[in-house]
Copies of this chain bind each other. A is one copy, B any other.
Amino acid sequence: MTIDAPEPDRTLYFDVDRSARIVADSFRNTPDPRLKQVLQSLAQHLHAFVKDVRPSTDEWAAAIAFLTATGQKCDEVRQEFILLSDVLGVSMLVESLADNAGERLTEATVEGPFHMVASPVRELGDDINVSGEPGERCLITGRVVDQDGAPVPGATVDVWQANSLGFYDVQRPDEMPQGELRGLFNTDADGRFHFRSIVPAHYPIPTDGPVGDLLRATGRHGFRPAHVHFAISAPGLRTLTTHIFVTGSPYLESDAVFGVKESLIVDFALLDDPARAAAAGLPNPFRHADFPVVLHREERP
């Protein structure tokens, strides 16, 4: 005596040839149409990748272990999955696809994993090198306009950078005060901003985790060229997340996270101008970088 069961339908069961379609079909009842689209596309591309490389079960287990270690490396001040996305060029691709508004606009680049704490609100002209980190002193100026050239007063300019050893404040909480080399500024009536800092240095991304293991295994270096991060926003304008890169920095041609765009390489010019140095509150001579920013004014719906 056996439990009666209908004759099984072969097409209901897993099959290598139809695997992507079977998995995509399992998402057919997803209420959110966008989530459904993303997961059905994921099923197609993920299964195509697996069929292309035909991993052994040991290789599959190694991939599971790598992803698990990547998740477990994350904490309040470390985001290893963003690093992984960065070194695979995915972060840069996402930023670039989202930033397709036109040639006259300032280009975007990756946010990176260190924009995790709120920058302190500061006044125009303030020094973000609050505790006097060693480094070449510089003045950074800029003006925010829209695509028609109209100035954007009151735009929020969020700035963050590493010190001359390549560390952000969150990476060295015992040595760097919180908010060091970060600042949240508002542009003046003419859309202008300016602040004091130090010229950033090139530095390696954190390589003491799974992403570092990946770079070592693949003969890739982990360095990023010298840069200052910006996130610039204002009502009615598309928020821009970008960097300026220092002209002549090493690794401009091989950024570990593929972040460099030619238009974002900015001259940190050495100025010998005692009057301007005194006005800015800097020793003479000093470096000066100017970053003109063009944001996209969104159409009203």
Give the B-binding residues of A (Cβ under 8 A): 1-5, 8-10, 12-14, 16, 19-20, 22-23, 26-27, 29-32, 35-39, 41-43, 45-57, 59-60, 64, 67-72, 74, 79, 81-82, 85, 88-98, 111, 217-220, 241, 246-248, 252-254, 258-262, 265, 267-270, 272
In the complex, A268 Cα to B5 Cα: how many Å? 12
Residue on B nearest A84 in the bound complex, by CB: B67
Q: For A47, list chain B residues within 8 Å (CB).
A: 89-90, 93
Residue of B nearest to A100 (CB): B16
- Chain B residues within an 8 Å CB radius of A96: 14, 16, 19
7 A–B contacts, CB within 8 A, in A order: A1-B270, A2-B247, A5-B248, A12-B253, A19-B96, A41-B52, A68-B71
A66 to chain B, nearest CB (A): 9
A8 engages B89 (CB within 8 Å): no
Contact at B53–A37, with CB atoms within 8 Å? Answer: yes
Q: Which 4 A-B pairs have the closest CB atoms?
A: A71-B71, A29-B219, A3-B248, A45-B49
Q: How far is the CB of A106 from chain B (nearest CB, A)?
A: 15
**B residues within 8 A CB of A27?**
218, 220
A50 with B97, Cβ < 8 A, contacts A19-B92, A36-B218 known: yes
Q: Which B residues are CB-close (under 8 A) to A42?
A: 49, 53, 88
**Contact check: which of B1, B74, B259 meets A71 at CB < 8 Å?**
B74
Q: In the complex the two chains form, is A54's CB within 8 Å of B97's CB?
A: yes
Contacts of A111 in B (CB 8 A): 57
* Cβ distance A224 to chain B, nearest Cβ, rounded Å: 13
Q: In the complex, are the beta carbons of A60 and B74 less than 8 A apart? A: no
Q: Which of B12, B26, B46, B98 contacts A56 (CB 8 A)?
A: B98
Apart from the given pairs A12-B253, A70-B71, 14 other A-B contacts in the complex at a CB distance below 8 Å: A1-B269, A2-B267, A2-B270, A12-B252, A14-B260, A16-B97, A30-B217, A37-B53, A42-B88, A50-B90, A55-B97, A60-B85, A67-B70, A69-B71
On whether the beta carbons of A268 and B46 are closer than 8 Å, the reply is: no
A31 (CB) vs chain B CBs: closest residue: B219
Q: Using Cβ atoms and an 8 Å threshold, which residues of chain B touch A14?
A: 89, 92, 96, 258-261
Contact of A88 among B37, B46, B91 (CB under 8 A): B46
List chain B residues, Cβ under 8 A from A4. 248
B270 in contact with A89 (CB, 8 Å): no
B93–A57 touching, CB < 8 Å: no
B98 to A57, Cβ gap below 8 A? Answer: yes
